[in-house]
Amino acid sequence: MADGSKWAPYIEKMQEQLSQLALREIQQDQTAGKTVKAYAADKLAKIAIGDCAIGAEKHIGLCTIFPLENYWLPLFFSFWEEQEKKISFLVDIMPTVDSLVDEPYRIKYFDPIQPMWEKFAHLPGIAPFEDDAVRAVCSIVYTAAVVPVDKEGMRLAALAPHTEYLKSYIDFVKDAPQADGEAKAKEIQRKIKAVKTALRSYVQRQYAGAMHADMIKVFF
């Protein structure tokens, strides 16, 4: 950054949580100042994490986790855009079924997140996420903000929702059951495809100049 400050340790803190999984690297894309790696793990089709610097002005971080389509399990999405004076972010455990209809799914995955969502609701800069298409695929307990970096500790405070949501997601993976029947598996497959499309489109629109197409593909 121009003022000599350091970017928040987004990759390091997220990797600490991901290390709880038995990761198998399946893909990597790396260019100057930009790195993304993808892994597979039990019940998970792809776990991707990476970051890139846009000059000295911006630091972008992303982490996506997509479950195998035959598991009754949400997906995870973390978006981080850091600048000298503010941090914009979104983090969520996104439904892979219609969670308004599937009450057991909602109770299992979103009720436990509610207290965490309430805790982070007091973070400075909390606001609805800007993009309508992305917001439409979010859960009812997503956290998004444009956090002003106006005092010591705000970068780590903004990072906390990402590591806490990820920790909870990894706990969910451990006892996630298989989808109950072919109809439910097909519903999950359709939902994951729709969410991927919305998220990939957003990242392409925002960062096509900073991330080349092959790098974005690794995440989705």
Tell me what pLDDT residue 216 has.
86
Distance of CA 40 to the CA centre of its chain: 16
User: Which of 63, 62, 50, 53 has the alpha carbon at shortest distance from 83?
Assistant: 53
CATH class of 10-219: alpha beta
Tell me what pLDDT residue 29 has.
77
Domain boundaries, the chain: 10-219
Give residue 173's identity as a one-letter amino acid code: V
Say whether pLDDT at 67 is over 60.
yes
Query: For residue 200, what are the contacts with CB-CB under 8 A and spacing of at least 6?
Result: 216, 219, 220
- Residues 141-188 have pLDDT tens digits of 999 999 999 888 899 999 999 999 999 999 999 999 998 888 888 999
Separation between Cα atoms, residue 12 and residue 64, nearest integer Å: 15
- Residues 79-104 have pLDDT tens digits of 999 999 999 999 999 999 988 888 99
Contact assessment for residue 81 and residue 88, using Cβ atoms and an 8 Å cutoff: yes
Evaluate if pTM is beyond 0.75.
yes
